[in-house]
Structure 1
Amino acid sequence: MFTKILDDTLVKNLVADAVTAPSMHNAQPWRFRYARHSRTFTLSTDPDRAIPQADPTTRGMHLGCGAALLNLRVAAAHAGHRTWTALLPDPHTPALLATVRLDDPHGHTDEALPDLHQAIRERHTSRFPFTERQIPDTVRTALTEAAAREGAQLSFLTDSHRETVLDLIKHAEGYNRMDDARDAEQRGWTRDTGTGPSADDGIPAYAFGPRKRAGSTPVRDFAGRHTVPDRDYADFEKNPQLASLSTAGDEPADWLRAGQALERVLLVATSEGVSASFATQPVEWPDLRWILRDPVSGSGYVHMLLRLGYGPRGPRTPRRPVDEVLTITA
């Protein structure tokens, strides 16, 4: 028996929270459908928003959609609804990633999710310098546990492994700059906010952050080969705090779990006052991605490298209107 009112306004609000999730190049590759009669959301990929050069397997697309799925679960829990989530419910429809049924008799109640709701709108990727302040062990533990609750592993890199990973990031950045197709693809998802109408997707120039003058911090420069007028320079961290996010498997369901784990980590980090950005460059090259595996455990497939620390949260980036990504049916 349904005990919570769920009108179309609330449905739209839930999706509005869901789509604040991060996605590769802010492509926002998701589509939602809500069926009133069954109180069920379906989440699918939007093939028009694929990034074939940097993400030929669509793993990155699945990560972004998984992050949006976690936000939907958080928003629903905050509104008082239990959820029953099924990943990849139809093997004959690969674009269909998940279903989320609200108030199902078998629905799951995750007591920690409602407390993360406020962080949904506060979380922003930061490509700005962080301080050298170390993240306390208690916070690191909370972030690690957040990933584990979604079936993933978050590992803070040791000094020796971090140096190896930093070298891999530099190699990947070089690969990207030499690859004309990838450079053009990235350029297609950047937005010059100083000219023309504002866009509702992609990375706006104001979110690029400053150019790195000093420091070993890996921050993706979305300007690529191009120059942004009047862009500042800044000194970044000498000893960046990096963590890898991995799963035991490397199939589409694992990618979705990793996306949910990623967003849960980011929301907990935001709640703890920790800012974050991504270093995806080596993950996008199969030969480099394999070397990212932890040298001690030697297990798991790395899906994301996170830079974490204390500093600006970064500016809000644009989002597509809910009506463009949501369909409501009887």
Structure 2
Amino acid sequence: MTAPVLDAPALEKLVSAAVAAPSVHNTQPWRFHLVPEASVLEVWAVRERALPAIDPEGRALHVSVGAAVLNLRTAAQHLGWSPGVRLSPDPSEPDLLAGVELDSAAVCRAPAVEALYAAIWRRHSIRSPFTGPPVPADVLAELADAARAEDAELELPDDAETARLLHLTAEAERHGTTDRAQRAESRSRVRRPGSSLYGIPASALGPQDAAGRLPMRDFGALAPEQHLAPQRFEERPRIAVLLTHGDRPVDWLHAGMALEHVLLAATVHRVRASLLHQAMESRFLRWEARDAHHGPAFAQMLLRLGYGPEGAPTPRRPAADVIDGS
């Protein structure tokens, strides 16, 4: 196949795919810098987009950037490169979280990569009830393989463990509602029409579970006028836990890459995903969320998987706005 050219249109396609990744509360905490002489596209953290009350260690920021790196790698493969990814490549630059090398052409475009690339533009989180049948075991196994490909694990707990995880999430949701700093930080990320391209538009929010079984994040807590009418959610939710074997910043980046790989693979199969992040925002509850029988591992995200309507998109900054020197 013809070797790809790293010109301005290719750069825009790469970064447009990267910024389509999910980020905690749609903070989009990333920027990109091209090193043309090395054919490297660097991914930098934007610390001013961080959430100090919810994410004081920057773990969720790293997970968000890792998801963008996965999209960037997928887009590079789609365009014809065989990209190399280096995470945290320079210890003297802690905000330089990844470098993607684009100096060699791929032998061919793999159908699996093409499917993942197409899913980048159709992947949206959902905060409403699932209405379809359970996700088949073979699809769940494929999602677990996607996580494993990025040095992470996707655990599928049984009913008793699922109930325990949902209890931890409910505890974390109560804390996030009553803690003044966390509540203000979360609620300030709800985007009003015509406001910033960061944050979550009200159209992308969801209702609470009428049965109280699923603790969905309540962005309108303590503001009853903002509540949607409660709805009945699925009785037996399929929860998955994303785990890493370490808990350093580089492991958080791997978690983000694994999360996005799982989400894209799910989208290929028309499986929707809802991210339950509340318990991940407490050091104690995140430790409790791991299954002690799974071995030494660290929980990085809870996912709820199922079939239902396509989620509403959230806004993104244009590629040109997040590329240095553009």
TM-score by shorter chain over 0.5: yes
2:259 aligns with one of 245, 262, 265: 262
2:244 aligns with one of 243, 247, 259: 247
Aligned residues: 324
Name the aligned partner's letter for residue 128 of structure 1.
S
What corresponds to 1:89 in structure 2?
Answer: 89
SS at match of 1:304: strand
**Can you list the C-alpha shifts for 1:160-213, whole angstroms capped at 9, x where unaligned?**
1111111111111111111001111112211133xxx23211011111112332
CA deviation after TM superposition for structure 1 residue 283, in Å? 1.1
1:71-82 matches, within 5 Å, as 71-82=71-82
Counterpart CA distance in 2 for 1:21 and 1:263 is 7
1:149-168 matches, within 5 Å, as 149-168=149-168
Counterpart CA distance in 2 for 1:250 and 1:179 is 25
Tell me, yes or no, if structure 1 residue 288 matches structure 2 residue 279.
no
1:181-330 matches, within 5 Å, as 181-193=181-193, 197-214=194-211, 216-229=213-226, 231-328=228-325
* TM-aligned CA distance change 1:178 to 1:215, over 3 Å: closer
Contact 2:24 2:60 (C-alpha < 8 Å) held by counterparts: yes
Contact 1:126 1:276 (C-alpha < 8 Å) held by counterparts: yes
Flag as ranges the 4+ runs of structure 1 deviating above 6 A.
Answer: 107-110
Contact 1:12 1:322 (C-alpha < 8 Å) held by counterparts: yes
**Can you list the C-alpha shifts for 1:114-136, whole angstroms capped at 9, x where unaligned?**
33110000000000110262111
SS at match of 1:287: helix
Name the aligned partner's letter for residue 97 of structure 2.
L
What corresponds to 1:8 in structure 2?
Answer: 8
Tell me, yes or no, if structure 1 residue 180 matches structure 2 residue 168.
no
Counterpart CA distance in 2 for 1:229 and 1:165 is 27
Contact 1:78 1:115 (C-alpha < 8 Å) held by counterparts: no
TM-score, scaled to structure 1: 0.93
Contact 1:73 1:113 (C-alpha < 8 Å) held by counterparts: no
Tell me, yes or no, if structure 1 residue 140 matches structure 2 residue 140.
yes
Counterpart CA distance in 1 for 2:308 and 2:228 is 19
What corresponds to 1:121 in structure 2?
Answer: 121
Counterpart CA distance in 1 for 2:295 and 2:160 is 15
Contact 2:220 2:227 (C-alpha < 8 Å) held by counterparts: no
Name the aligned partner's letter for residue 311 of structure 2.
G
Counterpart CA distance in 1 for 2:3 and 2:270 is 35
What corresponds to 2:23 in structure 1?
Answer: 23
CA deviation after TM superposition for structure 1 residue 228, in Å? 4.5
Q: Aligned-residue CA RMSD in angstroms?
A: 1.9
Contact 1:45 1:97 (C-alpha < 8 Å) held by counterparts: yes
Tell me, yes or no, if structure 1 residue 35 matches structure 2 residue 32.
no
Contact 2:126 2:311 (C-alpha < 8 Å) held by counterparts: yes
**Can you list the C-alpha shifts for 1:280-302, whole angstroms capped at 9, x where unaligned?**
11111111111111132242100
* TM-aligned CA distance change 1:109 to 1:3, over 3 Å: closer
CA deviation after TM superposition for structure 1 residue 223, in Å? 2.0
Contact 2:275 2:301 (C-alpha < 8 Å) held by counterparts: yes
CA deviation after TM superposition for structure 1 residue 215, in Å? 5.2
**Can you list the C-alpha shifts for 1:72-107, whole angstroms capped at 9, x where unaligned?**
0011101111101111111111100010010348x8
* TM-aligned CA distance change 1:172 to 1:109, over 3 Å: farther
> Larger deviation: 243-252 or 290-299?
290-299
Counterpart CA distance in 2 for 1:153 and 1:231 is 35
Name the aligned partner's letter for residue 234 of structure 1.
Q
Counterpart CA distance in 1 for 2:325 and 2:192 is 34
Contact 2:127 2:274 (C-alpha < 8 Å) held by counterparts: yes
* TM-aligned CA distance change 1:8 to 1:126, over 3 Å: same
Counterpart CA distance in 2 for 1:210 and 1:143 is 27
Name the aligned partner's letter for residue 60 of structure 2.
G
Contact 2:78 2:109 (C-alpha < 8 Å) held by counterparts: no
What corresponds to 2:64 in structure 1?
Answer: 64
Counterpart CA distance in 2 for 1:109 and 1:97 is 28
* TM-aligned CA distance change 1:268 to 1:282, over 3 Å: same
Name the aligned partner's letter for residue 308 of structure 1.
L
